[in-house]
């Protein structure tokens, strides 16, 4: 029986020319995703040299100008059963570029692990679908070829029948000491699309450029952590920029795009001799905690961070990469009480100041669910007011409390650049 699978692909946003000429990588300034995971800081000690990442996907455009290097291996095509995994969809080329596009070559984009060996394995056709048999063969092939990391940016939403063979292939890879990274899914469902692996597989959800949960991303059961995946909004700069199968560059959103950030960080750890489940645990332990304190259903362990995974200190003053700092103490100030009507109308207002430039992010939670969110950009040492607007779930909650004349207590989580996150209690009165 041939069982269908499809890729996890969200919307395209824009097309950019491939022939931009500049020193270094001319499009790196548009790669907010790399800044978020701090891969540039990590490259001071590791670029993934000696590590091999298998991209089990739709193949690769081997002629792309940003993918020209002997470290890009030939791989195999299990759809056409030949040794040329040519990408006729674009998804595989995009995902591959996030993990390992060339860096510092004066062309296009940079990547998380620009020194890693990349093994493209085509298991999905040009329409983005394929058979579970081919996926299983692709995973086993990756193990046989010595891949240290196996990236699965594909999903089972169109799977027909049991997944025993697929689960067994993942277990074989994990038992062989390989790191398996899978996209959580784009169905906004409370479960990882790849729940196999008995907790050893890294299931990756998505956040947008503001560090907020991507609306399309799966969450909840089986989620390991999150990484940049974009918002899905059709505006320049909202989604993840990478290589594409027309030789150019394109922004795409999806948990498919989040997963290769984690695979790239895994390759950096492999270069430093940290492999298998030791690398998995290091990635989870070093993720930047967001949302509720500690692991939570929306963000898992937090946002993957290459610098912290390698144990590197933050820039002077504790700010994030490339941010200047000062010695001012961080400030988080919000009222302990507020009126429900005021919050419905004006949101939750928090005064923020931090030692580094960046964003003050505020989220309000009730019973583990986010009911308000917002952020404000901070200048170094300057105070600004962040406003967390109430979302649909929050409006329903607060309007019901108002009708019933009862108070509501929210947990307000505030994250600042260069400072520990803080959680406060806010009581809302009718």
User: 256, 239 in Cβ contact below 8 A?
Assistant: no
Question: Active-site residues: which are they?
Answer: 57, 91, 256
Here the tokens at position 315 are 């820039």
In the DSSP assignment, the letter for residue 212 is P
Nearest to 372 by CA among 358, 362, 357, 386: 362
Strands 154-155 and 4-7 turn out to be antiparallel
Contacts with 347 (C-beta within 8 Å, 6 or more apart), sequence order: 372, 374, 387, 388, 389, 390
- What is the C-alpha to C-alpha distance for residues 38 and 206, in angstroms, rounded to an integer? 16
- C-alpha 246: how far from its chain's center? 24
Here the tokens at position 81 are 């059963």
Q: Distance of CA 175 to CAs 140, 157, 170, Å?
A: 12, 26, 8
Strands 249-252 and 12-16 turn out to be antiparallel
First CA to last CA distance, the chain: 60
């Amino acid at each position: 029986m041939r069982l269908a699978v499809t890729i996890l692909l969200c919307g395209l946003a824009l097309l950019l020319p491939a022939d931009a000429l500049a020193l270094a990588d001319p499009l790196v300034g548009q790669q907010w995703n790399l800044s978020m995971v701090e891969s540039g800081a990590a490259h001071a000690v590791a670029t993934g040299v000696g590590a091999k990442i298998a991209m089990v996907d739709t193949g690769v455009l081997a002629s792309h100008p940003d993918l020209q290097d002997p470290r890009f291996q030939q791989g195999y095509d299990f759809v056409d059963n030949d040794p040329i995994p040519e990408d006729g969809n674009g998804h595989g080329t995009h995902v591959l570029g996030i993990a390992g596009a060339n860096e510092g070559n004066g062309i296009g984009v940079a990547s998380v692990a620009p020194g890693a060996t990349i093994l493209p394995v085509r298991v999905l056709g040009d329409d983005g679908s394929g058979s579970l048999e081919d996926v299983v063969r692709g995973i086993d092939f990756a193990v046989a070829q010595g891949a240290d990391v196996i990236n699965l940016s594909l999903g089972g939403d169109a799977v027909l029948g049991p997944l025993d063979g697929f689960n067994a292939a993942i277990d074989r890879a994990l038992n062989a000491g390989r790191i398996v990274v899978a996209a959580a899914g784009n169905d906004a469902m409370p479960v990882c699309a790849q729940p196999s692996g008995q907790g050893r597989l890294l299931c990756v959800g998505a956040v947008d450029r503001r560090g907020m949960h991507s609306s399309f991303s799966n969450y909840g059961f089986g989620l390991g952590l999150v990484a940049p995946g974009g918002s899905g909004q059709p505006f320049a700069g909202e989604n993840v920029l990478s290589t594409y199968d027309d030789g150019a560059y394109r922004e795409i959103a999806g948990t498919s795009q989040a997963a290769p950030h984690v695979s790239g960080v895994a390759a950096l750890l492999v270069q430093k001799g940290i492999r298998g489940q030791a690398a998995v645990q290091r990635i989870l332990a070093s993720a930047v905690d967001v949302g509720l304190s500690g692991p939570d259903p929306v963000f898992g362990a937090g946002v993957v961070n290459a610098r912290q995974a390698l144990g590197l200190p933050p820039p002077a003053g504790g700010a994030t990469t490339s941010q200047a700092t000062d010695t001012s103490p961080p400030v988080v100030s919000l009222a302990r009480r507020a009126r429900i009507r005021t919050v419905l109308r004006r949101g939750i207002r928090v005064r923020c100041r931090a030692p580094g430039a960046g964003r003050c992010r505020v989220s309000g939670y009730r019973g583990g669910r986010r009911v308000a969110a917002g952020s404000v950009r901070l200048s170094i040492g300057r105070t600004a007011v962040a406003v967390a607007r109430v979302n649909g779930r929050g409006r329903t909650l607060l309007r019901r409390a108002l009708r019933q004349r009862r108070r509501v207590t929210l947990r307000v989580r505030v994250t600042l650049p260069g400072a520990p996150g803080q959680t406060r209690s806010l009581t809302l009165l009718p």
